[in-house]
């Protein structure tokens, strides 16, 4: 399905395989801009269904009924290869502070590191996207962080991500 509020920028970096998504996977990009994000995905031959900028604007790269390459080796409720049954959303956010990172929304300390703050317009836009996903894919009932389905490899969307501000789609808490 195509989200009308997103700019369409189809990518070649996904297989032409139909999926019935059961779960939404949230990522952060470790970048500060959409430009940098698209370039990184291209270089690594990866994809996500959506890239959601810090401004709230959205780019759609893959139809939500098609498989994208965002989760890597992963497991959700004993089912492996989460790309086979998920929608991936890349949220533009640099993650934890690295040398020379600039982030206009500032940083907050958690667990001994500085993490990039999440601007409210980005979360508002995410909530709108999530309710659209729920309307189009009634079987898609869970929302997880990448860290929950690949805990040995991933920490995104990180400890500052405002789970409590998400509405509509229930998220699994394991």
With respect to Zn ion, which residue has the nearer C-beta, 137 or 154? Answer: 154
Catalytic, out of 30, 36, 65, 90: 90
Residue carrying structure tokens 């949220």 = 91
Beta-carbon neighbour count of residue 41 at 10 Å?
22
Least distance (Å) from Zn ion to the CB of residue 69? Answer: 11
Work out the burial of residue 103: count CB atoms within 10 Å of its CB; fewer than 13 is exposed, 13-18 middle, 19 or more buried: middle
Closest CA to 74 of 158, 159, 146: 146
Q: What is the DSSP letter of 82?
A: G
The single residue listed with the structure tokens 């970096």 is 13
Q: State the nearest-atom distance from the C-beta of 15 to Zn ion, in Å.
A: 19
Query: Taking the complex as a whole, how short is the minimal distance between the CB of residue 154 and Zn ion, in angstroms?
Result: 5
Alpha-helix runs per DSSP H in 81-119: none
Q: Which residues contact 39 (CB under 8 A, 6 or more apart)?
A: none
Please report how close the Cβ of residue 95 comes to Zn ion at its closest, in angstroms. Answer: 10
The verdict on whether 114 is a catalytic residue reads no
Closer to Zn ion by Cβ: residue 63 or 156:
156
Considering the complex, state which of residue 48 and residue 58 has its C-beta at the smaller distance from Zn ion. 48
Q: Of the two residues 135 and 166, which places its CB atom closer to Zn ion in the complex?
A: 166
Residues engaged in binding Zn ion (CB under 5 A): 27, 146, 156
Active site residues: 90
């Amino acid at each position: 399905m195509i989200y009308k509020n997103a700019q369409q920028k189809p990518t070649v970096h996904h297989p032409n395989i139909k999926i019935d998504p059961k779960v939404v996977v949230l990522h952060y990009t470790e970048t500060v801009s959409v430009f940098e994000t698209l370039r990184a995905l291209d270089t690594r031959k990866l994809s996500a269904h959506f890239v959601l900028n810090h401004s709230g604007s959205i780019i759609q790269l893959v139809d939500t009924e098609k498989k994208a390459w965002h989760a890597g080796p992963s497991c959700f409720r004993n089912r492996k290869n989460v790309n086979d049954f998920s929608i991936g959303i890349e949220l533009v956010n640099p993650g934890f502070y690295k040398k020379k990172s600039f982030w206009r929304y500032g940083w907050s300390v958690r667990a001994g590191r500085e993490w990039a703050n999440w601007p409210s317009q980005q979360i508002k836009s995410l909530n709108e996207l999530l309710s659209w996903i729920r309307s189009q894919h009634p079987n898609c009932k869970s929302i997880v962080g990448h860290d929950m389905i690949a805990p040995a490899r991933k920490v995104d969307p990180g400890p500052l991500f405002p789970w409590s501000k998400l509405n509509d789609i229930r998220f699994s808490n394991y």
